[in-house]
Amino acid sequence: MERKNFLKSLIIGAASTSVLAAACKKDDTASTTSTGSSSASTPPSSSNGCAVAPTETEGPFPTHTPASYVRSDITDGRTGYKLTVKIIILSNSNSCNPLANALVDIWHCDKDGNYSEYGGSGMQATDYTSVHFLRGRQTTDTSGLVTYTSIFPGWYSGRSTHIHVHVYNSSGTSLKVTQIAFPEGSGTALAQVNGYSKGLTGYTYNASDNVFSDSYATEIAAVTGNTTDGFVLTMSISV
């Protein structure tokens, strides 16, 4: 009886592991509603002290599932020119050798300049608060490399085109928060995309951008390609 009940306790959502087959001989009291107490998994007792025991066929057993952010293709239905993003993470404390097993989150706006997880406010009118497009997470390999498939970002007032990057160690401790800038000038990807349907009137260039203006030489990626075949962005980031 003991072993059978131990197995039952492994069922997803099955009630308290402390429930024994001889539940009716135990006086199980229901957990109280104090803050900080754990889930009400102990079946409450009825007036004569008997409690219903969970009795269901075992399984399926829970399996580790990565967060939905963990994906290489972050396009998520957004339209735009294809952009492959390759980022190499290097370790300052290890002679700028590649850093493996780092978690790298990237995110950027869509072709119209809108972000997922934001909206309905002055900063962004379009409400995308419950979607997660153009956000993704990858883990660096032994070469320190992460790769994403995305679209070339659009732009919004006050900022030059950019991609946000947050690098963590494998335990989730933040190592660096930074942004990637794009090369400017005739023939560059930025010029070819030309701001999608918005054009580039009123665009803020890197030298005037409040994040990049003092140091964009180190934050500019290398971008190759064209609107037909798509673009490839390569960037090294030291943490």
Partner 1 sequence: MRIITLCYRKVIDVNSTKPWDKLVFESSYLEFKMQAQNFSQHTRLTSYAQLVNNIPGAHQLSARVLPAINGYIHQLNNVVPDILNNVGIRSLRFDNYQLEIINSDINDKIRHQIAINFYTPPLVWHDSVGEYLLLSPYQPDATADNEAITNLIQVQPYLNICSLKTI
Measured from the CB atom, the residue of 9 and 149 that comes closer to partner 1 is 9
Question: Residue 183 CB, nearest distance to partner 1 (Å)?
Answer: 27
Least CB distance to partner 1 at residue 186 (A)? 36
Nearer to partner 1, 5 or 196 (CB): 5
Alpha carbon separation from 102 to 55, 81, 173, 216 (Å, rounded)? 43, 28, 10, 24
Residue 124 to residue 140: CA distance in whole angstroms: 32
Closest CB 54 distance from partner 1, rounded Å:
6
The 3-state DSSP composition of the chain as helix, strand, coil percent (nearest 5) reads 10, 25, 65
Which is nearer to partner 1, 38 or 142 (by Cβ)?
38
Contact positions vs partner 1 (CB under 8 A): 9-10, 12-15, 17, 30-33, 35-41, 43-44, 46-47, 52-56, 60-69, 103, 105, 117, 129-130, 132, 166, 168, 172-174, 177
Shortest approach of partner 1 to residue 213 CB, angstroms?
19
Nearer to partner 1, 65 or 186 (CB): 65
- Determine how many CB atoms are found less than 10 A away from the CB of residue 172: 7
SS3 76: coil
Q: How far apart are CA 21 and CA 13, in angstroms?
A: 18
